[in-house]
Amino acid sequence: MYLTVKEKEIKESGFSVIDNVFTDQEIEDIQAAINGADTTKETFRKSDDLFAIRQFLKEVPGTIELIFNKKLKAIIREIFGKDYFLVKSIYFDKPETSNWFVSYHQDLTISVNQKVKIPGFGPYTKKHNQFAVQPPLNTLESNFTIRIHLDDTNEENGALKVIPNSHSKGIYRPETIDWNIEKEVSCNVARGGLMVMKPLLLHSSSRTTNNQKRRVIHLEFSNQTLPKELQWSEYLNFDRTSS
């Protein structure tokens, strides 16, 4: 019944927060694996405002079994079904004094292995040797994202702010937001909890003002088959993990 309510929230609002998915010990084990990673690689980005690991599960494979515990697998299966697989992973560490922020946007691209001219796919971008492309709308509508929070997160240390139900309006340009109609919600998440969201949900992140860290593991999932010329840049059938 609990997950049925969460499924309804995601369909209607485009997001939901689920508490107590990971224990304190599980969070500590995940963070220990991250702390032991080689940060000199090109997929690691480090500045005063942000530390990020792109293709996170490839770069820190010791976290896979820890992340895909029985609770997380059950949440994915019961809310979305058994045909989904992971297609992208990023680790974000927003330090205590971070002034880094992200304005309102939708996640309109997927990460792929190369640039190929295919009807319905485009434009392409390339950043840090990683290709991204905007796919057909139905792919974005079927995909979902899970954000695992390794710290308590609220309005003061960069919790996502979202516009409920904006995911149902197709491509929704931030400059066209009518604030007389739309409302903003802060998605506060406790340590060990997660936020589930649809990529077309308009979302933003503010600067940190309370000197508290915000560490998040961002995972994207799909059940879509790409044209044969393209491959997902990351792919993981998490059901084959042992947890």
CATH number at residue 176: 2.60.120.620
Q: Which domain holds residue 72?
A: 2-237
Examine residue 232 and state whether it is found in any structural domain, yes or no: yes
Reported as half-sphere exposure (CB side, CA atoms, 13 A), residue 107 has a value of 23
The two beta strands, 102-105 and 185-186, are unpaired
Number of domains into which the chain is organized: 1
Examine residue 120 and state whether it is found in any structural domain, yes or no: yes
Eight-class DSSP state of 27: H
* 226, amino acid identity: L
pTM: 0.94
Can you tell me which residue has the tokens 């309006």? 169
Examine residue 180 and state whether it is found in any structural domain, yes or no: yes
CA separation, residue 185 to residues 47, 162, 182 (Å) = 28, 5, 10
Per-residue pLDDT of the chain (243 residues; tens, 9 = 90+): 788 999 999 999 999 999 999 999 999 999 999 988 877 776 666 665 558 899 999 999 999 999 999 999 999 999 999 999 999 999 988 877 667 788 999 999 999 999 999 999 999 999 878 999 999 999 999 999 999 999 999 998 889 999 999 999 999 999 999 999 999 999 999 999 999 999 999 999 988 888 888 999 999 999 999 999 999 999 999 987 776
Examine residue 242 and state whether it is found in any structural domain, yes or no: no
Examine residue 243 and state whether it is found in any structural domain, yes or no: no
Examine residue 177 and state whether it is found in any structural domain, yes or no: yes
